[in-house]
Copies of this chain bind each other. A is one copy, B any other.
Amino acid sequence: MTTELPQGGGFGDPAFLPNTQQGIRRRNLSLVLQAITAHGPLSRAAVATRIGLTRAAVSTLVDELIRAELLVELGPERPGTVGRPGSALTVGERGPVGIGAEIGVDHLAVCAVDLHGKVRARATLESDNRGRPPEPVLKELARLVREVTGASRAAGLRPAGLAVAVPGLVARDSHTVVRAPNLGWSELDLGPFLLDGLPLSVDNEANLGALAELWIGGDPAPQDFVHVSAEIGIGAAVVVGGRLLRGTHGFAGELGHVPVRPEGPACPCGGRGCLEQYAGEEAVLRAAGIPYGEQGIGLLAARAEDGDAQARRALRGAGSALGIALSGAVNLLDPQTVILGGALSRLAPWLLPSLERELARRTADPARPKGGTVTVSRLGSEGPLLGAAHSVVQAVLDDPASVAGAVR
């Protein structure tokens, strides 16, 4: 029998540490490192007051993190106030990096992100992966990963883990893709292809895209939001208190099947009038008079930009439907913001007016300050890839001892 508390799995879900001496030490290392990554260069004294420890205690923790190359000393701060200026600490340029990978329907991408959140290396490969057998795709991806890890190591960086974003459902705490309809994959264990020494985690791309918003989406990054993307169907990811809500069975975020008009057209899911029937890729393209296919969304964006009335009408309709569905979510969750990500960020200019109108009038509670604001992701289609890499970085921040390893 082991502990009863929530056992973290995958990256980004901090593992449970018992309150033993070593556990405390590890947590304190994490607190110091997180304080410094989150709030720019800080002195030891500033860290100490922030996390509630004494300066002396922080000093020893910082020493350990410096030895592990996770922190570097920048030297004396600009003295602004009375007293001896502190010595600024920041995360190292030569420490660990997280490797993120993305398997898209028409591309493969890999990147390395350091503790600063900066992309330090990347590799991309255009290739139509729809219906292709998994083996060659994964071999190509493995090659890209080796390329990026090689470049990272050459730059003095240490890859700390690999996270893969997949357009499909992934079994919790496993490397197995349960089903990825757009790729035509199912029940596929990625471990054999990608496990070469690096810790591996696999997750859904919508989840990772949302986590990217949480970690690098804004300044300050929102902690409670609904992130809507439309890569496969219409997915939403709900982040509450800085934590991704995955749902009891891992199916949270099925915004596409929220009812918009209860007696609307039948949906393959068994319901009627689901959001996907109004704002799904297929429905919108049909309304815009564009054949359903590979380049549909790009074509739609181009036509809307050109002022094509039919395309714009289609997007207005989709925006209204999204607004209706999201007003339910906003009423229920009262999030800080709603973020349009993925392909939706490109279409946002034409979706937003009708979306915001519906949302505003349906969430105008007498006591509510104002209807939740809608923002457009700055990350766009980069979200899942960056989120994957950052999930590895986050795992390092959550437990620096695991990567500092046997450093003295």
Contact = CB atoms under 8 A, between A and B. Distances in A.
A299 interface: no
A366 to B, nearest CB: 7
B334 A254 contact: yes
Contacts of A27: 19
A252 B1 contact: no
Interface string A242-259: 010111111111110111
Given A251-B367, A367-B251, A328 B258 contact: yes
Contact of A28 (B19, B224, B361): B19
A301 interface: no
A335 B248 contact: yes
Interface in A45-101: 49-53
A250 B258 CA distance: 24
Contacts of A358: 262
B241 A271 contact: no
Contacts of A28: 19
A18 to B, nearest CB: 3
Interface in A152-187: 169, 178-179
B52 A367 contact: no
Interface in A206-224: 224
Interface in A314-348: 324-325, 327-329, 331-336
A358 B23 CA distance: 48
A353 B270 CA distance: 18
Interface string A13-46: 0000011100110011001000100010000000
Interface string A217-238: 0000000100000000000101
A354 interface: no
A295 interface: no
A394 interface: no
A121 interface: no
The 5 closest A-B pairs by CB, nearest first: A247-B334, A18-B52, A271-B362, A252-B334, A258-B328
7 contacts: A4-B39, A20-B53, A178-B367, A236-B332, A255-B332, A258-B327, A272-B362
